[in-house]
């Protein structure tokens, strides 16, 4: 049997697709129906069908897949349930925008036509989202796929509504809601974004109604709403207005009289201390009105649902005019009428719709609400008593503070796309009933022909049920029994309130359990300009393009290493280079090992057992592997995914490739005989195979490919067992000994660079060891030291022995080191070669430093090290150029 040599390059395009197909065929991701032993379950947060997945989604999905594959390799029964979210209002807004580009206004289309268009939109995005998930190599169980508006989700949503309704936790009430006049729907408080904007503060004179001289001055930024005034209010303790309370004023531009009332809610410091009360169009005014219902009359709304002035109360010339335009016209009319006392620029907080950017209109409107206070208590308790743990824990404070200030949740939306509110009204007797099934007749009077509620539910009203509804609730399914509560939720902190907190409330209410034990918040990715990468900004590259260009594994690795996944960081085109470089290194290491395998090499099912007194390098690399795999396990258990990736990166790159491979290179070639070659091959194969295995959760495709090139047992790496830390032993003695050898290498390398020994030269070296033990150790390893430090001879000298005059030295704990520094001036050719080499290295190092992705994501120590390297290279380059008689280049 002859082994095919491995390809020199990793052809990711072919490899990734091949293994994805193989995993599908072998149903690697399929959750066991009757799991025995431990389970690990989670839902894929259902992405909105508004758009396609962004690079931010890919980061979250990579984190989940790392955890999923890690648990699967540990033998846990894993269920990872994918799905998509209908995203009611957002999707309708997206379709509305697309139609507007074709000159069609969504509101003019019949309901059925809108539903058909939105359905098409959803189908297209859903298909592409599924392709994106597959292309990333994410091992979700597609047989558990759910959609937030499939038949089961519709039934579950209605069931929850009816139960909360019957328990008095859902009610319909007239409240001031956030009205989006552009989209013609109510919004929840969370969908309103507040920011400071410039406006104008007017002081308007309201004359006394009885005709006496003077009146009350009222400050407002919304003169167009004066037609809806029902009173002017002052603070009861405001001495300036003491005589005014109980009198009446006339609303300017009209004949209407309204009383002056006293209410503690008025801020005497604002404007003149007197404010107009317009209860249908302002939350505070509505509150004032409610405290004075006996004195005041609630007049009809003076703004319609499109935000235009309209009603009998509005003078004819302003009717039908948009609020923004009306503001100017009413101001002009007030100026002409001599009613304006002052106007000045004014900056204040304005609420805008997250969906349409329209200024949100406070509007008194009948809407459906969920009472939150009682629901919130078990969610808060779960975090306090540790049954739900937030990672990183710093987000707990934010969580508590939000849960304390909870308002009732407005859940009705006036759009077409969404779950219907399951409430029916009887036109005959006026009765109202909530029902899971569409009722045939009135429960009270048996009248047939009930009128359904015209509104739909906020999309989060289904999302908050997702951990149990996606597993089949309210049916008592096998999945719910076996896999609920789920193990972990991985999501962005930007939806901590919209979603995470509400899921905890719903889980406690309907299943009696928190829906997950751990919540892992990933960070937010930012673009080159520092903006959050998001669907709405459209600044995310399409992950499918990146995968086509660089491969899924490069992308996955770059997203978790080296920047911490749970902190915000930039994602730039340069970010992907780190992932690609690492995969190249991994490929080359395995290719080297593969090239040294013997025919019919046995799979390394157990760690090689080393004889007593075995060479320290083998003991050391097994010890390093033991430390590495322990750290990977620790970090993954603690949801420190970047640290786990970093431990494997360091081991592969530095311990395995830089040190061990170089150390045993000679042995592998048989330089020390067959027994030494066999030991080296066994140990090398073992640590390489285990590294490939432990990297599988991070970079599944390339590791699956490489694993098949190494001796292995089993058919698929995806189903192979996770490496156990106790396989190899800790060996502190070997660590100390190799530490001394590596110190010798580093010291000689440092002397080389300090004295600008040309890169190609191998000068002689001398060592005066600090003790007998060190002397024996380094003498035994002098071949390795010479090879790694690239020196010619290494001579051990005693305390009194002199070194040649051309030697330059330095002192370390292990001894005094000397290096022969050539006196003769190197030839101009040699200098030029040296200069080109240095210039190339310097350019590479500077490119790395210039990449903002590297600067902000790499650990500070690595950045500092790289900066130091650039400085050193630059100095050496300058000296070489001086010797060449050229002008020195720019410094570091």
Task: Name which of 426 and 434 has its Cβ closer to Zn ion.
Answer: 426
The binder of Zn ion chosen from 426, 480, 589, 794 (CB under 5 A): 426
Q: How far is the CB of 565 from Zn ion (least distance, A)?
A: 57
The interface mask with Zn ion, positions 380-419, x = CB under 5 A, is: ----------------------------------------
Q: Which of residues 836-875 bind Zn ion (CB under 5 A)?
A: none
CB of 429 to Zn ion, least distance (A): 3
With CB under 5 A as the contact rule, which of the stretches 85-93, 157-165, 423-431, 672-680 interacts with Zn ion? Answer: 423-431
Among 371, 447, 532, 879, binds Zn ion (CB under 5 A): 447
Stretch that binds Zn ion, among 160-168, 277-285, 440-448, 682-690 (CB under 5 A): 440-448
Contacts of 285 (CB under 8 A, 6+ apart): 275, 276, 277, 278, 279
| CA distance readout (Å), 177 to 45, 288, 356, 412, 756 | 29, 16, 16, 10, 74
CB 688 within 8 A of CB 661: no
Q: How far is the CB of 422 from Zn ion (least distance, A)?
A: 17
Q: Is 423 in the site for Zn ion (CB under 5 A)?
A: no
Q: Positive or negative, the Cα torsion across 832, 834, 835, 840? A: positive
C-beta closer to Zn ion: residue 159 or 432? 432
Among 201, 428, 775, 862, interactor with Zn ion by CB under 5 A:
428
CB 455, min distance to Zn ion, A: 21
Residue 161 or 424 with smaller CB distance to Zn ion: 424
Query: Which tokens go with 94?
Result: 């997206």
Smallest gap from residue 424 Cβ to Zn ion (A): 10
Which of 100, 335, 337, 445 binds Zn ion (CB under 5 A)? It is: 445
442 binds Zn ion (CB under 5 A): yes
Smallest distance from the beta carbon of 444 to Zn ion, in angstroms? 5
Backbone angles phi, psi at 478, to 5 degrees: -60, -40
Based on CB atoms, which residue is closest to Zn ion, 430 or 792?
Answer: 430
Q: Where are the alpha helices (DSSP H) in 755-859?
A: 772-780, 782-789, 828-850, 852-857
Residue 562 DSSP symbol: S
Of 467-506, which residues contact Zn ion (CB under 5 A)? none
Shortest Cβ distance from residue 511 to Zn ion (Å)? 35
Binding window for Zn ion (CB under 5 A); candidates: 44-52, 169-177, 429-437, 565-573? 429-437
348 vs 451 by CB, closer to Zn ion: 451
For Zn ion, the closer CB: 429 or 675:
429
Binding to Zn ion by residue 431, rule CB under 5 A? yes
By CB under 5 A, which span of 398-406, 437-445, 481-489, 543-551 interacts with Zn ion? 437-445
Residue 390 backbone phi and psi in degrees, to 5: -95, 135
For Zn ion, which stretch binds (CB under 5 A), given 411-419, 443-451, 589-597, 882-890?
443-451
With respect to Zn ion, which residue has the nearer C-beta, 441 or 807? 441
Q: HSE (CB half, 13 Å, CA atoms) of 18?
A: 11
In angstroms, give the least distance from the CB of 426 to Zn ion.
Answer: 3
Nearer to Zn ion, 431 or 892 (CB): 431
> What minimum distance in Å lies between the beta carbon of 442 and Zn ion?
3
Enclosing H/E stretch for 589 = helix 575-595
What's the CA gap between 59 and 53, in Å, rounded? Answer: 10
Residues in the chain, how many? 892
**Helix, strand, or coil here: 890?**
coil
Residue 658 has what DSSP assignment?
I
C-alpha to C-alpha distances, 431 to 175, 443, 866, nearest whole angstrom: 21, 8, 75
Q: By CB under 5 A, what part of segment 222-241 binds Zn ion?
A: none
CA distance 488 to 473: 19
Q: At what angle do helices 616-637 and 732-754 cross, to 10 degrees?
A: 100
Nearest CB to Zn ion, comparing residues 439 and 541: 439
- Exactly one of 193, 335, 429, 760 binds Zn ion (CB under 5 A); that residue is 429
Percentage helix, strand, coil for the chain under 3-state DSSP, each rounded to 5: 45, 20, 35
Q: Give the residue among 270, 167, 272, 175 at the shortest CA–CA distance from 214.
A: 272
Total residues in contact with Zn ion, by rule CB under 5 A: 8
CB nearer to Zn ion: pick between 4 and 437 = 437
156-173 CB burial, b ≥16 within 10 A, e <16: bbbbbbbbbbeeebbebe
Give the binding range for Zn ion (CB under 5 A) out of 304-312, 369-377, 428-436, 805-813: 428-436
Distance between CA atoms of residues 745 and 817, nearest Å: 10
Q: Which stretch binds Zn ion (CB under 5 A): 444-452, 780-788, 806-814, 825-833?
A: 444-452
Report how far apart, in Å, the C-alpha atoms of 591 and of each of 23, 211, 586, 617, 697 are: 24, 99, 9, 21, 21
Write out the two tokens for 777: 């150790």
Q: Judged by CB under 5 A, which stretch of 96-104, 201-209, 445-453, 591-599 contacts Zn ion?
A: 445-453
Four-residue CA torsion sign, 344, 349, 353, 354: positive
Selected range binding Zn ion among 215-223, 442-450, 509-517, 822-830, rule: CB under 5 A: 442-450
- Contact region with Zn ion (CB under 5 A), list: 91-99, 424-432, 698-706, 712-720: 424-432
SS3 at position 154: helix
417 contacts 114 by C-beta, under 8 angstroms: yes
Q: Point out which residues bind Zn ion (CB under 5 A).
A: 426, 428-429, 431, 442, 444-445, 447
């Amino acid at each position: 049997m002859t082994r095919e040599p491995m390809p020199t390059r990793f052809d990711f395009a072919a490899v990734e697709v091949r293994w994805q197909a193989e995993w599908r065929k072998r149903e690697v991701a399929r959750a066991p129906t009757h799991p025995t032993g431990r389970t690990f379950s989670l839902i894929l947060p259902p992405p909105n069908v508004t758009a396609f997945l962004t690079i931010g989604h890919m980061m979250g999905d990579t984190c989940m897949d790392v955890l999923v594959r890690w648990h699967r390799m540990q033998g846990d029964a894993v269920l990872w349930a994918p799905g998509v979210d209908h995203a009611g209002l957002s999707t309708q807004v997206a379709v509305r925008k697309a139609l507007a580009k074709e000159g069609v206004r969504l509101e003019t289309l019949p309901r059925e036509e809108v539903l058909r268009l939105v359905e098409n939109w959803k189908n297209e995005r859903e298909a592409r989202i599924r392709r994106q998930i597959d292309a990333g190599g994410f091992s979700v169980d597609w047989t558990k796929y759910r959609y937030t508006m499939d038949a089961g989700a519709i039934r579950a949503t209605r069931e929850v509504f009816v139960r909360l309704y019957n328990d008095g936790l859902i009610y319909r009430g007239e409240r001031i809601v956030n009205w989006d006049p552009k989209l013609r729907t109510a919004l929840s408080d969370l969908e309103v974004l507040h920011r400071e904007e410039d406006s104008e503060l007017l002081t308007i004179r309201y004359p006394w109604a009885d005709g006496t001289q003077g009146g009350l001055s009222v400050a407002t930024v919304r003169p167009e709403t004066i037609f809806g005034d029902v009173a002017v209010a002052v603070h009861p303790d405001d001495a300036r207005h003491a005589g005014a309370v109980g009198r009446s004023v006339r609303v300017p531009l009209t004949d209407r009289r309204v009383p002056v009332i006293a209410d503690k809610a008025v801020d005497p410091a604002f404007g003149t201390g007197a404010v107009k009360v317009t209860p249908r169009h302002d939350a505070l005014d509505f509150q004032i009105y409610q405290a004075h219902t006996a004195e005041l009359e609630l007049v009809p709304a003076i703004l319609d649902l499109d935000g235009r002035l309209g009603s009998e109360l509005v003078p004819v010339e302003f009717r039908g005019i948009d609020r923004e335009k009306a503001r100017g016209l009413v101001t002009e009319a007030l100026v002409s009428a001599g009613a304006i006392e002052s106007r000045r620029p004014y900056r204040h907080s304005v609420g805008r719709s997250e969906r349409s950017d329209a200024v949100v209109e406070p509007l008194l409107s009948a809407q459906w609400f969920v009472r939150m206070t009682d629901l919130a208590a078990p969610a808060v308790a779960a975090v306090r008593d540790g049954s739900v743990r937030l990672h990183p824990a710093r987000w707990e404070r934010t969580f508590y503070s939000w849960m304390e200030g909870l308002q009732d949740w407005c859940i009705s939306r006036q759009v077409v796309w969404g779950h219907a509110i399951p409430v029916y009204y009887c036109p005959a007797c006026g009765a109202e009933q909530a029902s899971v099934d569409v009722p045939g007749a009135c429960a009270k009077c048996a009248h047939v022909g009930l009128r359904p509620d015209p509104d739909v539910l906020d999309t989060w009203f289904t999302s908050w049920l997702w951990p149990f509804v996606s597993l089949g609730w309210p049916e008592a399914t096998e999945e719910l029994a076996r896999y609920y509560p789920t193990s972990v939720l991985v999501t962005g902190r930007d939806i901590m309130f919209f979603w995470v907190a509400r899921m905890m409330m719903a889980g406690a209410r309907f299943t009696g359990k928190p829906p997950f034990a751990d919540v892992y918040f990933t960070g937010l990715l930012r673009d080159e300009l520092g903006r959050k990468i998001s669907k709405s900004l459209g600044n995310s590259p399409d992950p499918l393009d990146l995968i086509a260009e660089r491969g899924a594994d490069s992308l996955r690795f770059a997203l978790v290493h080296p920047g911490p996944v749970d902190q915000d960081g930039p994602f730039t085109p340069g970010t992907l280079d780190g992932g690609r470089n690492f995969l190249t290194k991994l490929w080359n290491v395995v290719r080297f090992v593969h090239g040294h395998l013997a025919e019919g090499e046995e799979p390394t099912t157990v760690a090689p057992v080393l004889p007593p007194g075995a060479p320290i390098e083998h003991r050391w690399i097994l010890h390093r592997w033991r430390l590495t795999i322990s750290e990977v396990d620790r970090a993954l258990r603690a949801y420190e995914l970047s640290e786990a990736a970093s431990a494997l990166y360091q081991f592969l790159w530095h311990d395995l490739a830089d040190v061990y491979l170089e150390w045993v290179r000679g042995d592998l070639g048989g330089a020390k005989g067959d027994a030494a070659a066999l030991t080296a091959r066994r140990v090398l194969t073992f640590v390489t195979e285990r590294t490939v295995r432990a990297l599988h959760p991070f970079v599944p495709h390339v590791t699956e490919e490489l694993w098949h090139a190494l001796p292995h047992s089993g058919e698929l790496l995806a189903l192979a067992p996770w490496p156990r830390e106790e396989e190899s032993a800790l060996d502190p003695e070997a660590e100390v000994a190799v530490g001394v050898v590596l110190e010798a290498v580093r010291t000689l390398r440092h002397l080389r660079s300090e004295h600008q020994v040309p890169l190609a030269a191998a000068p002689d070296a001398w060592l005066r060891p600090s003790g007998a033990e060190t002397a024996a150790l380094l003498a035994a390893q002098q071949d390795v030291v010479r090879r790694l430090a690239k020196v010619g001879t290494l001579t051990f000298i005693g305390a009194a022995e002199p070194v040649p005059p051309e030697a330059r030295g330095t002192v370390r704990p292990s001894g005094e080191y000397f290096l022969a520094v050539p006196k003769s001036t190197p030839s101009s050719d040699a200098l030029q070669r040296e200069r080109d080499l240095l210039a190339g290295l310097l350019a590479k190092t500077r490119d790395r430093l210039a990449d903002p992705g590297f600067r902000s994501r790499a650990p500070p120590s690595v950045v500092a090290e790289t900066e130091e390297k650039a400085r050193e290279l630059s100095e050496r380059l300058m000296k070489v150029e001086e010797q060449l008689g050229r002008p020195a280049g720019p410094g570091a």
